[in-house]
Structure 1
Amino acid sequence: MAARILAAQVLAAKVIAVSAASGHAFSKPNLPSIRLLAGLGVEGDAHCGETVKHRSRVAVDPTQPNLRQVHLLQAELLDELNAAGFDVAPGQMGENLLTRGLDLLGLPYGTRLRLGPDALVEITGLRNPCAQIEAFRPKLLAAVLGRDKNGKLIRKAGIMGIVLAGGEIRPGDAVSVTLPAQPHRALERV
């Protein structure tokens, strides 16, 4: 049954917006298209590269592999945040790809996403929102974090991935999903 639900969900999944920025700013401008580069990330984006580019991670160990080459966010989160009065538009949460129609947070580690005709991204984990989010919108950090019934922290600020195959991506492009072999591993902070 779960496979049928996922298959139906994937049929409707698409890219809503694409964003990139060459500097380390919290938000990224929307663009007509972005190009993913295999093993690197989003061409021209500050986080593009084989090794970590997030400043806090570079400070710890600049030789770490970059498991955060692409940031994907679900448009449904923006809907939720806007309904709560936060006024957040595509690209403002620092994502490279905004999708609709796919539960990104529910995907297991190692899931592969075909984006448009050519690009392929493998999911590496959950985005851990940082304190910059509070400077962008006060109280937004609490809105993108939660707790499940057992008290476990839930991170809702999107997922991260690495680029396996490059290609150009535009708003309106389809997103298709290939799940990894069982047993599936839940996403963790990366």
Structure 2
Amino acid sequence: MIAFMVQTLSAVVLSVSRDSVHRFTKPLCKAITLLEGLGVAGDAHLWVTVQHRSRVAADPTQPNLRQVHLIHSELFAEVAAVGFTLRPGDMGENVTTAGLDLLALPRGARLQIGPDALIEVTGLRNPCAQINEFEPGLLKTMVGHDDKGRLIRKAGITGIVLHSGVIRPGDKITVTLPQEPHHALD
């Protein structure tokens, strides 16, 4: 069993983004609307079935477990320490958070964002070679290994929308952990 400790005292939305076209970076918005069972209104990844081009090519009937992409702003400081510059929306995330260790969340954790929106965490974002097209060498900083040699992916997390709602910068994020046993994100 894996123990999960998640710090949420001051977890907030730093920024929100969406793009109706499949591009690496998403432009910032004043607000985004999450639609239950679909994802972010107006975003290229919106729908019940997969919308990621690689997953569509493999099997377009798969359920879309990546309706919303979230990344922790603390990653920006980590990559800056080794010479890279990232800003909200640069990695194609819909929600940039602050004060919450997204990577420490277990699968099935629920994120209440603002008064209405509810997301269930489904997995880690898998960093791909497109990151190096954005900034050469950046992919190397998005993956690592822990002291036991296990792969660590740092490019954020994905989730599905359980309850519709509008999300804005400054909205509070409340985490509810699933029943034990908890399962690490993969």
Q: TM-score, normalised by structure 1?
A: 0.94
Gaps of 5+ in 2: none
Distance 1:11 1:106 in 2: 15
Any idea what the Cα deviations from partners look like across 1:127-152, whole Å, max 9, x if unmatched?
00111101001111000100111111
Q: Which secondary structure state, in structure 2, belongs to the residue aligned with residue 154 of structure 1?
A: strand
- The answer as to 2:22 corresponding to 1:24 is yes
Alignment partner for residue 88 of structure 1, among 86, 109, 124?
Answer: 86
How far the C-alpha of 1:10 sits from its partner, in A, is: 1.2
In the other structure, the counterpart of 1:129 is 127
Identity %: 62
Determine which structure has the larger helix proportion and give its number: 1
Alignment of 1:92-171 (within 5 A): 92-171=90-169
Equivalent residue letter for 1:161: G
In the other structure, the counterpart of 2:172 is 174
In the other structure, the counterpart of 1:79 is 77
Distance 2:104 2:183 in 1: 10
Q: Which secondary structure state, in structure 2, belongs to the residue aligned with residue 151 of structure 1?
A: coil
User: 4+ runs of 1 displaced by more than 3 Å?
Assistant: none
Distance 2:60 2:8 in 1: 36
How far the C-alpha of 1:158 sits from its partner, in A, is: 0.2
How far the C-alpha of 1:87 sits from its partner, in A, is: 1.2
How far the C-alpha of 1:29 sits from its partner, in A, is: 0.3
Distance 1:114 1:81 in 2: 28
In the other structure, the counterpart of 2:45 is 47
Q: TM-score, normalised by structure 2?
A: 0.96
Distance 2:50 2:113 in 1: 23
- How many equivalent residue pairs? 184
Distance 1:44 1:19 in 2: 10
Gaps of 5+ in 1: none
Alignment partner for residue 33 of structure 1, among 31, 37, 40?
Answer: 31
In the other structure, the counterpart of 1:184 is 182
Q: Which secondary structure state, in structure 2, belongs to the residue aligned with residue 79 of structure 1?
A: helix
